A = this chain, B = another copy of it.
Amino acid sequence: MSTTIMVGYFAGFLTTLSFLPQVVKTWKSKSASDLSLGMFSVFSVGVLCWLSYGVLLQEPPIIFWNTITLVLVLSILVMKLRFDS
């Protein structure tokens, strides 16, 4: 595997997994008022587009990472909507 591809895989691993501490923090604190609804809404649609891009390209790593990211980001979004109201 080339260095470039390894850097790409590692980048995807980091940007996907980075949402996990936010999920845990928001779940524990039951507080999400400092989170921007705009950011997480637009980001969700963006990740859905990355997923479509991966499906169109038939690239399993893009499909894999973006599916996990989408689940994590949507769970933050759901908590934001629940805890803010």
Contact = CB atoms under 8 A, between A and B. Distances in A.
Interface size class of A (residues with CB under 8 A): 35 or more
Majority secondary structure, A binding face: helix
A38 to B, nearest CB: 3
A47 B3 CA distance: 17
A38 B15 contact: no
Contacts of A1: none
Given A18-B39, A25-B36, A56 B11 contact: no
A81 interface: no
Interface of A: 3-4, 7-8, 10-22, 24-26, 29, 31-43, 45-47, 49-50, 52-53, 56-57
